[in-house]
Structure 1
C-alpha cells in the first residue's frame, strides 16, 4: 500500500469494538500489520504478558507461534489455529484490502480443555517462574469448547471481512482525494502559466504593457500616500525600424532581447522593467530620485551602445533614446507621469537621439 496502516484502518473505532468484545466474552484480540507492529491489543492474559512473553525462552516460543500463524495465512488459509509451545491456543485470521494481504487479526491465550496443572508447574519450574503467581495466572486462562471456538472464529472471519471492505472504502477515498489534489496542483500550475503568459512579453521575458500599467498605478498610489520619490523612464531603440527592415526580424528580435537583458542586469530588484511593444521599453524606479535614476539610465545607454549582434554584420553601434519623469505633488494620476516621460523621450529624439532627457515640472527639459 502507498498509505500508512493507520490511514487505511480506523484504529480507535476498531479498538473500542475489540474492547467491548473482550469485556463481553473474555476473548483477547490483537491486530498486527505484516511487519509485526501491534495496533490493537485487548484483554491479554497475565500468563502471557507477565510470564510467557517476558522470559527469553518462552518469549521465543511466542514469536515462533506468531510466525507460524502468519506464515500459514500468507499461504492462503482462511484462518489458522495453533497450539503454541507454551501450552496455550492461538487463532489468526488474515485481513485483505482490495486483494492485498495487509494484516492479521489474532485471538488466543485460551485452552481447549482444563489445564494440565502438573505440566504447567514443571514448565514454570524449568523457566524459573515464581510458581504461585504463575499458577494463579494459569487458572484465569479461559477454557473454550469446540462450539465456542467455532463462534469465535466465525466472528473474527466476519470482522476481518468487514475490516477489509471498510479499508477498501477508505483506500478508494484516499486515492480519490489524492487524484483531486494532483488535479488541483495541475490546475494551479496551468493557472500560473496562464498568468505568466498574460503578464509577460513572450519574446524578452519582461513584463508586458498590461502588467506595467497595473504596477505603475500601484507605485503611483504608494508614492503619493507616503510622499516617496518615483521615477519612470521610457526607452526606445534608435532607428529600430530601419534595422529591422534591413537585417530582418530575426536580427531585430536579437536586439530586443539583448536590450531587455541589459536593462534587467542594471536595475534594482525593486525596479520594474517592461516592454510596452515594438522597441519601446519602460522602467519604474520606486523610491528613487530623478538624479539617481538618470545615473542608472546613462549607464544603461552606454551599455546598449556596446551591444553587438552577429547577424547584423556591418550595423553601426546600437543606440537608444531615453525620457524620464518624476512624480510631482500636483500629479493626479499615473498617466501624467507616463505622458511626461514620453514627452522627455520625444525631446531626446528631437535632439539627435542617443541621449537621456528629464521632464521638469516647469515643462522644460534637461539633458
Structure 2
C-alpha cells in the first residue's frame, strides 16, 4: 500500500474510541496491522502484560494465538474466536479498506466461565513465575457469557466495517487532496458515524442483556448522581429494592429458560408502570432497583402496591406452563440527600427483608420497619 498505515487510519481518534469502549464495557482492544505491529492497545489485563507477554514460554503461545487468529481472518472469516494455550480467550475481526485486508481488530483476555484455579496454579509453576502475583492477576480477568460475546461481536463487526470505511475515505482523500469539499464532507460524515458508534457502546455498557432494563453499572452511577442532586437542592429521593419471591423454586421447577422469561415479564410490567424520570435496573439475578427522584414516599407506596398486585394477579403462560409469581418490595428515603449511597441501600435492603419476613408479596418502607421493631421491643 502506497500510504503509511497511520495516514490511512486516524489513530488518535480511534484510540479515543477504543479507550471509551474499554472504560465502558471493561474489555480490552488492540489494532494490529498485518505485520503484527500494535497501533492501539487499551485495557490489557495484567496477567498478559506482566506475565504471559514477558515470559518466553507463554509469549511464544501468545504469538501462536495471534498468528492462528490472523491466518483464519486471512481466509475470509467474519471473525474468529480462539482459546490460546495460556488459557484465555481472544477474538479478532478483520478490517478491510476497499477490498484489501489491511488490519485486525482484537479483543480478548477474558474467560467464558470462572477460572480453573488449579489449572492456572499449575501453569504458573510451569512458567516459573511468582504464584501469588500471578493468581492475583487472574482474579482481574473478566468472565463473559457466550451471549454477551455474541452481542459484543455483532457490534465489533459493524465497528470494524466503519473503521475500514473511514480508512477508505481517508485513502480517497489522500489521493484526491484537491477535492477539499469532498474531504470535509467525508470527515464530517465519518465523525458522525463515530459518534453513533460511541453512543451504541454506551448503550451496550448500560443495558441488561436479558431484560433490556438498566444494568448494575448504570444503577450505581445514577444512584451516586441522584444523591448528590438531592443533597444539593434538598430534593427527596426514594430507592426501592425488590426481588422475586422464591425465584429459586421457579428455576428448579421449570428450568432457567422459564425463569428468564418470568424476569422479562416482570420487567415489562414494572417498566410500563413508571414515569420517564424513574430509573429501573436489574442489579442481580432476580434483584431489581427503582430510583424515584423528587418524589415523597407516600406517593410511591400506592404505585408500588399497584405494581405488586399486578404482578401477583397476572398469570404468566410460557411454553404451556401457567405460572403465578409475586415480588417483595423495600423502600427508603434519602432524607434530602443526607444519607450516603451505602446507607440508603442498606435501609432499602432491610425494608425488603422486612417485607419478606412479614409474608412476602408486599411493600414495606424503612420507617414502617422501624415502627414494627419499636412495637416489638
TM-score relative to the length of structure 1: 0.50
The within-5 A match list for 1:280-359 is 280-311=287-318, 313=320, 315-328=322-335, 331-359=338-366
Give structure 2 stretches of 5+ with no counterpart: 1-174
Q: Distance in 2 between matches of 1:215 and 1:330?
A: 14
> 2:254 maps to which residue?
247
Where 2:318 maps in the other structure, the secondary structure is: helix
Equivalent pair of 1:238/1:353 in contact (CA under 8 Å):
yes
Equivalent pair of 1:321/1:353 in contact (CA under 8 Å):
yes
Q: Deviations over 1:69-124 (max 9, x none)?
A: xxxxxxxxxxxxxxxxxxxxxxxxxxxxxxxxxxxxxxxxxxxxxxxxxxxxxxxx
CA gap 1:365/1:344 in 2 versus in 1, 3 angstroms: farther
Give structure 1 stretches of 5+ with no counterpart: 1-167
CA gap 1:246/1:171 in 2 versus in 1, 3 angstroms: farther
> 1:197 maps to which residue?
204
Equivalent pair of 2:230/2:337 in contact (CA under 8 Å):
no
Q: Distance in 1 between matches of 2:193 and 2:234?
A: 43
Aligned pairs, how many? 199
Where 2:335 maps in the other structure, the secondary structure is: coil
Q: Distance in 2 between matches of 1:364 and 1:312?
A: 44
> 1:225 maps to which residue?
232
Q: Distance in 2 between matches of 1:331 and 1:181?
A: 46
Q: Distance in 1 between matches of 2:323 and 2:180?
A: 68
- Runs of 4 or more, structure 1, over 4 Å off, are 168-171, 312-316
Q: Distance in 1 between matches of 2:229 and 2:372?
A: 26
Shift of 1:318: 1.2
CA gap 1:197/1:169 in 2 versus in 1, 3 angstroms: closer
> 1:235 maps to which residue?
242
The within-5 A match list for 1:134-283 is 172-283=179-290
Shift of 1:222: 1.5
Where 1:203 maps in the other structure, the secondary structure is: coil
Q: Distance in 2 between matches of 1:174 and 1:258?
A: 52
Q: Deviations over 1:126-158 (max 9, x none)?
A: xxxxxxxxxxxxxxxxxxxxxxxxxxxxxxxxx
Shift of 1:306: 2.9
CA gap 1:241/1:362 in 2 versus in 1, 3 angstroms: closer
Q: Distance in 2 between matches of 1:322 and 1:235?
A: 4
Shift of 1:300: 0.5
Q: Deviations over 1:7-28 (max 9, x none)?
A: xxxxxxxxxxxxxxxxxxxxxx
Q: Distance in 2 between matches of 1:211 and 1:318?
A: 27
> 1:31 maps to which residue?
none
- Higher mean C-alpha deviation, range 318-327 or range 241-250: 241-250
Root mean square deviation of aligned Cα: 2.3
TM-score relative to the length of structure 2: 0.49
Q: Distance in 2 between matches of 1:171 and 1:301?
A: 67
Q: Distance in 1 between matches of 2:196 and 2:323?
A: 44
Q: Deviations over 1:21-70 (max 9, x none)?
A: xxxxxxxxxxxxxxxxxxxxxxxxxxxxxxxxxxxxxxxxxxxxxxxxxx
The within-5 A match list for 1:94-173 is 172-173=179-180
Where 1:305 maps in the other structure, the secondary structure is: helix
- For the pair shown, which has the larger CA radius of gyration, 1 or 2? 1
